[in-house]
């Protein structure tokens, strides 16, 4: 357990930018990415704003170096993973025992839902190449094969916390000495399946989402991918790592299949467990990247769990989902990149669309972008369906 | 890191409680589970709404916890390649045929891949570590590996690990169109769970000695050499394996045969997919069966392919592959 796990780099593509630099720019200029959907075809297009990656599949395929008929989930994944590897400066992956641990929630569903239109009319119809990558794991393998990764390839799906668990699993494999490098994170493209699913739960906001705001009425769905490059002590010595992944924990709320317990039992246990692994006190945390979806339920549970753990002193906190929307299986990866980079650069991200403090909470999120903060430990939260709650702690 | 199997539970095409004494025979290309009376573990009001794969998972996990005498595990770690296909299919069907209108949440709620793990936690009131791997024929193997790593961090823990899979009419039709069920290969489904602990005690039924995955080997030679190195790392030679259990499924089994002839020429060889069918997490059924074999020191004759069933069994290697690209090695020993 004494072995360290380092973040050597990270890459992101989401609705506010095609790489990490573009995302930072959007944060600094206070430009959230919600808009009317252009690439997803849904009858709800005019009702629910989404945070789409502003590019069609042909453009993404060209950047990814992949065929445009593959699932958008794989294209996004490849683009973010490539940026992560480049930013890490570790050089050719071939020289290491490298793994890819990727998360997603619906695999190649963007293609499957199109296949089903023909298939349901006639089970002999529908092009099989549209369902050949339906499985979550298949999407990961397209990326692993393109990157030449063979030592370890795996996929995790625990709804909204998926990618945070990918970082944990990758970290465990590095600690145990099985691997030197793990590309860990997640990816998800917008699909009609998830859009309609969240609509049946009545938790989609028809306006821009307002995380941790008393007037919040739901979330906006987003899409994208985010990966960090986790490396062992030995590899970290050769590069300039961003920071350490010092603590992580996963707990289950065990309250309801889709709703969080009012007091956020799972959220509390995940944050507490991550602090405990990092041997830190709540007061040591300098910034929290909230799960902060903008639903009544999540923000209240997460907020009360933070109050219970951190009171009376609360670190600066914000939800970057107020810019990116909820990218589901990708969110833990995207936010891990944001959190690790914040720590490295002393950045605190703003919470957009905030006007009114939540009545039940003694704190409110940060609303302005700032650089030059002295950050030593940063926490990133990912909670979700199935009661799955995960927290990560990054340290200098 | 190794672990001890403290309890097992299985819902499969076979009668879970009496195997291997009685073997069910099936015709056609589909081996559905022999549904146990789910009321034993699940409230009757919940049964009606609950997806079939969830029921299988809840049942198998409860049987394994009972068998181990563990009420509350310290982690729930599972694998499923396809996830909750039935509810995914229901929601997709309505989405398409009703043009995204008048949809209801139940099927969507039960469609996420972590539904089974979440429901097991919910019914147990278990707040512990909870993870779901969804990587095709590596889903079970990653769940076992995560369990071993989790136990390494704290050897007092007890982990509930397992895998689930279900066949639906849609999935069967589509997979048949891909040509999966030709030449006698039959689709399978089921749930198998295991309670794992780091320390050996009077409850221990078998030792989970090691787990390994091999992704897209370049050749049969690479696979053979990988299997040999895996055994060497565990202080063994191929000749130390008392029984090799392979994932032959009645289709093209030449890959297994070639490496068997090369590495395991004198070892007895057995199979299991004629009992549970072919599915990405079928190795979980094999692990359940193997635990029973090692505990009872009895090899059912119906599983033998080559050689005679050994009368004493110390070490069993389960080797399963999918399309020659995904190889799973699970080494299990008597304890």
Over residues A59-76, the pLDDT tens digits come to 999 999 999 999 999 999
First CA to last CA distance, chain B = 15
Select the more confidently predicted residue: A128 or B20.
A128
* Size (chain B), residues: 335
Over residues B62-77, the mean pLDDT reads: 98
The shortest CB-CB distance from B215 to any of A153, A175, A251 is to A153
Residues B106 and B54 sit within 8 Å (Cβ to Cβ): no
Three-state secondary-structure class, residue A297:
helix
**What is the pLDDT at residue B25?**
85
Helix (H, G, I), strand (E, B) or coil at A163: helix
Contacts of B233 (CB under 8 A, 6+ apart): B210
Say if CB B162 and CB B107 are below 8 A apart.
Answer: no
Cross-chain Cβ contact B92/A386 below 8 Å? no
Banded model confidence at residue B188, pLDDT cuts 50, 70, 90:
very high
Mean pLDDT of chain A: 97
Spell out the alpha helix ranges (H) of B82-162. Answer: 85-97, 105-109, 115-124, 139-153
The first and second tokens of residue B119, run together, are 């429901």
Neighboring chain B residues of A112 at a CB cutoff of 8 Å: 92
Question: Across chain A, how many H-helices and E-strands are there?
Answer: 12, 10
The β-bridge partners of A381 are A391
Mean pLDDT for the stretch of residues A127-142: 97
Neighbouring residues of A2: CB distance < 8 A, sequence distance ≥ 6: none
Chain length of chain A: 396
| Predicted pLDDT of residue B21 | 67
Q: Which domain does A142 fall in, by range?
A: 5-395
The enclosing H or E element of A296 equals helix A296-310
Neighboring chain A residues of B114 at a CB cutoff of 8 Å: 157-159, 385-386, 388
% of residues, chain B, pLDDT over 70: 99
Superfamily of domain B3-197: Thiolase/Chalcone synthase (3.40.47.10)
How close A281 comes to chain B (CA, Å)? 21
- Please check the confidence at residue B245 and state whether its pLDDT lies above 60: yes
The whole-angstrom separation of Cα B296 and Cα A328 is 46
> How far is Cα A366 from Cα A359, in angstroms, rounded to an integer?
17
* Per-residue tokens: A141: 């393998």
Bond into A312 cis (ω within 30): yes
Per-range mean pLDDT, top range of A104-113, B7-16, B26-35: A104-113
Report which DSSP code applies to A233. H
**Per-residue confidence (pLDDT) for residue A349, from 0 to 100:** 98
Predicted confidence band at B26 (pLDDT cuts at 50, 70, 90)? Answer: confident
Number of structural domains chain A divides into: 1
Query: What is the bridge-based pairing of β-strands B269-271 and B304-306?
Result: antiparallel
Q: Which residue of B has its CA nearest to A136?
A: B134
Fold matches, B3-197 and B210-333: yes
B112 to A140: CB separation less than 8 angstroms, yes or no? no
Cβ-Cβ contacts under 8 Å for B77 (sequence gap 6 or more):
B117, B129, B130, B131, B132, B133, B143, B146, B147, B150, B159, B160, B161
Q: Using the predicted structure, report yes or no on whether residue B170 has a pLDDT greater than 80.
A: yes
Q: Which of B94, B114, B122, B164 to mutate to test the interface with A (most CBs of A within 10 A)?
A: B114
CA gap B249, B241 in Å, rounded: 21
Phi first, then psi: give them for residue A40, nearest 5 degrees: -85, 135
Cβ distance of B127 and A158 shorter than 8 Å: no
Average pLDDT on A321-327 reads 98
Look at residue A1 in the predicted model and tell me its pLDDT.
Answer: 42
Choosing among 3.40.47.10, 3.40.50.300, 3.40.50.150, 3.20.20.140, the CATH entry for B210-333 is 3.40.47.10
Q: Are B241 and B266 within 8 A, CB to CB?
A: no
Residue A14 and residue A324: Cα distance in Å, rounded?
A: 7
Answer yes or no: A291 catalytic. Answer: yes
Reported as a single tens digit per residue, the pLDDT across A86-116 is 999 999 999 999 999 999 999 999 999 999 9
- Candidates A327, A161, A140; CA nearest to B113 is A161
Q: How far apart are CA B182 and CA B252, in angstroms?
A: 10
Q: Cα(B244)–Cα(A365) distance, rounded to whole angstroms?
A: 59
Closest-CA residue of A relative to B131 is A158
DSSP H helical ranges for chain B: 44-49, 52-68, 85-97, 105-109, 115-124, 139-153, 169-177, 220-233, 254-263, 273-276, 283-296
Q: B186 exposed, middle or buried (CB, 10 Å; 0-12, 13-18, 19+)? A: buried
Residues 6+ away with beta carbon under 8 Å from B39? B47
Strand A6-14 to A98-103 pairing: unpaired
Q: What is the CATH number of the domain that holds A14?
A: 3.40.47.10
In 3D space, the residue among B254, B230, B274 whose CA is nearest the CA of residue B20 turns out to be: B274
Nearest-CA distance B279 → chain A (Å): 13
Does residue A326 carry a catalytic annotation?
A: yes
Nearest CA in chain B to A277: B153
CA dist B250 → A4, A366, B157, B183, B284 (Å) = 47, 62, 40, 7, 19
CA A378 to CA A292: how far, in whole Å? 16
State whether residue A168 is helix, strand or coil. helix
Q: Is A259 helix (H, G, I), strand (E, B) or coil?
A: coil
Q: Which residues lie closer than 8 Å to B90 by C-beta, 6 or more apart?
A: B107
Question: Do A385 and B121 count as a contact with CB atoms less than 8 A apart?
Answer: no
pLDDT bucket at B17, cuts 50 / 70 / 90: low
**B131 → closest Cβ in A150, A165, A199:** A165
Q: Which residues of A touch B99 (CB under 8 A)?
A: 43
Label residue A371 exposed, middle or buried (CB < 10 Å: 0-12, 13-18, 19+).
Answer: exposed
pLDDT of residue B18: 59
Which chain A residues touch B93 with a CB distance below 8 Å?
116, 120
pLDDT of residue B1: 85
**Secondary structure class of A127 (helix, strand, coil):** coil
User: Which residue ranges make up each domain of chain B?
Assistant: 3-197, 210-333
Distances (CA, A) of A108 to A71, A188, B174: 5, 9, 15
CB contact under 8 A, A157 and B173: no
Rounded to the nearest angstrom, the minimum Cα separation between A378 and chain B is 22
User: Is A113 in contact with B76 (Cβ distance < 8 A)?
Assistant: no
Q: φ, ψ for residue B300 (rounded to 5)?
A: -65, 125
- The β-bridge relationship of strands A6-14 and A243-252 is antiparallel
The active-site residue, picked from A14, A23, A136, A160, is: A160
């Amino acid at each position: 357990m004494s072995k360290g796990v380092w973040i050597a780099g990270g890459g992101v593509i989401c609705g506010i930018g095609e790489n990490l630099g573009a995302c930072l720019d959007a944060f600094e200029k206070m430009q959230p990415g919600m808009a009317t959907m252009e690439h997803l075809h849904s009858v709800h297009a005019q009702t629910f704003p989404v945070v789409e990656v502003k590019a069609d599949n042909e453009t993404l395929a060209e950047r990814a170096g992949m065929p445009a008929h593959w699932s958008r989930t794989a294209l996004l994944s490849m683009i973010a993973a490539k940026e992560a590897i480049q930013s890490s400066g570790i050089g050719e992956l071939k020289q290491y025992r490298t793994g890819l641990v990727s998360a997603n929630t619906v695999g190649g569903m963007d293609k499957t839902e199109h296949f089903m239109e023909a298939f349901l009319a006639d089970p002999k119809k529908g092009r099989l190449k549209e369902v050949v990558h339906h499985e979550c794991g298949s999407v990961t393998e397209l990326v692993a094969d393109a990157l030449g990764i063979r030592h370890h390839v795996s996929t995790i799906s625990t709804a909204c916390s998926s990618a945070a668990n990918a970082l944990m699993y990758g970290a465990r494999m590095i600690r145990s000495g099985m691997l030197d490098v793990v590309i860990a994170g997640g990816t998800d493209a917008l699909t009609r399946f998830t859009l309609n699913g969240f609509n049946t739960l009545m938790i989609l906001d028809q306006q821009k989402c307002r995380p941790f705001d008393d007037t919040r009425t739901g979330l906006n769905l987003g899409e994208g991918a985010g990966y960090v490059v986790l490396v062992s002590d030995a590899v970290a010595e050769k590069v300039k790592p961003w920071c350490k992944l010092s603590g992580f924990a996963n707990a289950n709320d065990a309250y309801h299949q889709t709703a969080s317990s009012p007091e956020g039992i799972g959220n509390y246990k995940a944050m507490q467990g991550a602090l405990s692994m990092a041997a830190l006190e709540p007061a040591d945390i300098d910034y929290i990247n909230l799960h902060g979806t903008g639903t009544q339920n999540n923000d209240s549970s997460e907020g009360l769990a933070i109050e219970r753990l951190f009171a009376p002193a609360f670190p600066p906190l914000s939800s970057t989902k107020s810019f990116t929307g909820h990218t589901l299986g990708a969110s833990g990866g995207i936010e891990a990149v944001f959190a690790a980079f914040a720590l490295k650069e002393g950045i605190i991200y703003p919470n957009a669309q905030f006007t009114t403090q939540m009545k039940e909470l003694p704190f409110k999120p940060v609303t302005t972008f700032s650089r030059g903060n002295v950050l030593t430990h940063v926490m990133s939260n990912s909670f979700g369906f199935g009661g799955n709650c995960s927290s990560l702690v990054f340290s200098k | 890191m190794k672990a001890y199997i403290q309890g097992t539970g299985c819902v499969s095409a076979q009668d879970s409680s009496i195997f291997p004494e009685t073997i069910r025979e099936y015709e056609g290309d589909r081996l559905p589970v022999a549904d146990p009376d789910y009321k034993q573990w699940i409230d009757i009001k919940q049964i009606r709404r609950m997806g079939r794969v969830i029921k299988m998972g809840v049942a198998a996990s409860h049987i394994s916890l009972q068998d181990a005498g563990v009420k509350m595990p310290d982690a729930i770690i599972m694998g499923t390649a396809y996830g909750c296909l039935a509810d995914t299919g229901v929601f997709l069907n309505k989405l398409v045929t009703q043009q995204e209108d008048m949809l209801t949440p139940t099927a969507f709620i039960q469609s996420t891949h972590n539904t089974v793990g979440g429901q097991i936690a919910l019914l147990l009131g278990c707040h512990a570590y909870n993870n779901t791997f969804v990587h095709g024929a590596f889903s079970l193997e990653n769940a076992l590996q995560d369990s071993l790593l989790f136990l390494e961090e704290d050897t007092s823990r007890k982990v509930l690990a397992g895998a689930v899979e279900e066949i639906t009419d849609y999935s069967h039709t589509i997979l048949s169109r891909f040509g999966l069920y030709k030449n006698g290969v039959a689709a399978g489904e089921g749930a198998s769970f295991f309670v794992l602990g780091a320390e050996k005690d009077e409850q221990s039924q078998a030792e989970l000695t090691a787990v390994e995955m091999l992704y897209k080997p370049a050749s049969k030679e690479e696979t053979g050499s990988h299997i040999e190195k895996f055994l060497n790392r565990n202080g063994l030679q191929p000749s130390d394996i008392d029984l090799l259990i392979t994932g032959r499924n009645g289709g093209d089994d030449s890959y297994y045969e070639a490496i068997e002839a090369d590495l395991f020429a004198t070892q007895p060889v057995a199979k299991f997919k004629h009992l549970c069918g072919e599915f990405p997490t079928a190795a979980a059924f094999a692990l359940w069966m193997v635990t029973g074999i090692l505990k009872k020191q009895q090899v059912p004759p119906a599983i033998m392919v080559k050689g005679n069933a050994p009368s004493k069994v110390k070490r069993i290697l389960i080797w399963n592959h999918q399309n020659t690209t995904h190889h799973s090695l699970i080494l299990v020993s008597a304890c």
